[in-house]
């Protein structure tokens, strides 16, 4: 299994006037397993990883953490603030002092869990919360982010810029039939009303924003008409007038015919993590399985579950004038 993963990771492609490194599965069997893993976010020093793990239906989401141990990762544990509610999509602030996430937990103690409705279907809703680093190094109690950004109970994948702006995806009154990306700015003791990030035709679904801390480029998942699968990863660059350029499709090993979403940046320049349900290529007739090999293969990371993959887009960024 590991040999096949390494062979897969040796592919190298050219895209966006720069190269994209081969994909590498993050922590096979430890971080990336036969369950669903997505949304990797790293402490500023790169030594601690938070991510989401869930069942295939994603009805039971929990935020986990793991610590770097040389070239490997420690056995994940449930984050101190998670494990009781439908918690997902963690995101560090660039300074590491806060960790944001979304949850269906009640806004006030004793209230019912948050529920969302769309197309006649009811499901676990999401509001934005955060925990703050305490003097003892531990996280404080989860704090609800009050304001208009949480009014529709369908807020996903927060991403925080160094200036405090929060980007997220949502389905709102001005997003058309699909999801779009929004931003709020710090204002007084709260945040401004959400503003839709203008990226073009609203008939295109756009989710899972990842803002570069200095706000120079924005990554997201969607389909701008040239996606290889149901969703791919795109990048848009900030223009001199403050607007966003036309989204560019990332190639190489970033995108495949499988689903790609939840892009996040790692601690070093050009380091990109994406969630993907890419599978091992099975050819028939295959080597005859025993129960042991069948169980191992079907329960492994490449069984069609979403896993976390690492690529490097440093050359893509350098081709657009970035050096760090």
pLDDT, tens digit (0-9, with 9 covering 90-100), for 182-202: 999 999 999 999 999 999 999
Residues 177 and 172: their CA atoms lie apart, in Å, by: 9
pLDDT on residue 21: 66
Residues 217 and 288: their CA atoms lie apart, in Å, by: 48
Q: How confident is the model at residue 222 (pLDDT cuts 50, 70, 90)?
A: very high
Q: How confident is the model at residue 118 (pLDDT cuts 50, 70, 90)?
A: confident
pLDDT, one tens digit per residue, over 71-114 is 999 999 999 999 999 999 999 999 999 999 999 999 999 999 99
pLDDT, one tens digit per residue, over 36-47 is 999 999 999 999
Task: Find the mean pLDDT for residues 195-217.
Answer: 97
Question: Which position has the token pair 């701008």?
Answer: 224
Residues 254 and 276: their CA atoms lie apart, in Å, by: 9
Residues 311 and 24: their CA atoms lie apart, in Å, by: 7
Average per-residue pLDDT in the chain?
Answer: 92
Q: What is the CA radius of gyration of the chain?
A: 19
Q: Which of 120, 114, 118 is nearest to 88 (CA)?
A: 114
- Angle (CA) 128 134 135, round 5°: 165
pLDDT on residue 119: 85
Task: Please report which residue ranges of 38-106 form alpha helices under DSSP H.
Answer: none
pLDDT on residue 100: 98
pLDDT on residue 152: 86
Q: Report whether pLDDT(299) > 90.
A: yes
In three state form, how does the secondary structure of 215-248 look? CCEEEEEECCCCCCCCCEEEEEEECCCCCECCCE
């Amino acid at each position: 299994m590991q040999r096949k993963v390494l062979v897969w990771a040796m592919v190298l492609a050219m895209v966006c006037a720069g190269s994209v490194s081969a994909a590498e599965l993050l922590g096979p069997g430890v971080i990336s397993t036969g369950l669903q893993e997505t949304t990797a976010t790293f402490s500023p020093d790169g030594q601690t990883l938070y991510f989401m793990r869930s069942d295939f239906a994603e009805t039971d989401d929990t935020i986990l953490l793991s610590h770097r141990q040389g070239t490997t990762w420690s056995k994940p544990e449930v984050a101190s603030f998670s494990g009781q509610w439908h918690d997902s999509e963690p995101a560090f602030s660039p300074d590491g002092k806060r960790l944001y996430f979304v949850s269906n937990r009640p806004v006030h103690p004793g209230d019912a869990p948050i529920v969302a409705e769309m197309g006649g279907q009811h499901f676990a809703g999401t509001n934005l919360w955060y925990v703050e680093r305490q003097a003892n190094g531990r996280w404080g109690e989860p704090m609800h982010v009050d304001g208009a950004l949480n009014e529709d109970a369908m807020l996903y994948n927060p991403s925080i810029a160094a200036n405090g702006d929060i980007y997220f995806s949502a389905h709102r009154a001005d997003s058309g039939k699909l999801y779009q990306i929004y931003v709020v700015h710090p204002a007084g003791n709260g945040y401004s009303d959400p503003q839709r990030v203008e990226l073009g035709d609203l008939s295109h679904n756009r989710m899972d924003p990842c803002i570069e801390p200095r706000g120079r480029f924005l990554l997201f998942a969607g389909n701008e008409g040239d996606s290889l699968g149901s969703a791919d990863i795109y990048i848009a660059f900030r223009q001199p007038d403050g607007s966003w350029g036309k989204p560019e499709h990332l190639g190489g090993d970033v995108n495949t015919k499988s689903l790609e979403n939840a892009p996040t940046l790692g601690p070093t320049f050009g380091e990109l993590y994406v969630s993907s349900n890419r599978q091992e290529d099975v050819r028939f007739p295959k080597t005859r399985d025993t129960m042991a090999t069948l169980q191992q293969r079907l329960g492994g990371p490449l069984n069609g579950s979403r896993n976390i993959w690492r690529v490097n887009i440093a050359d893509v960024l350098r081709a657009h004038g970035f050096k760090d």
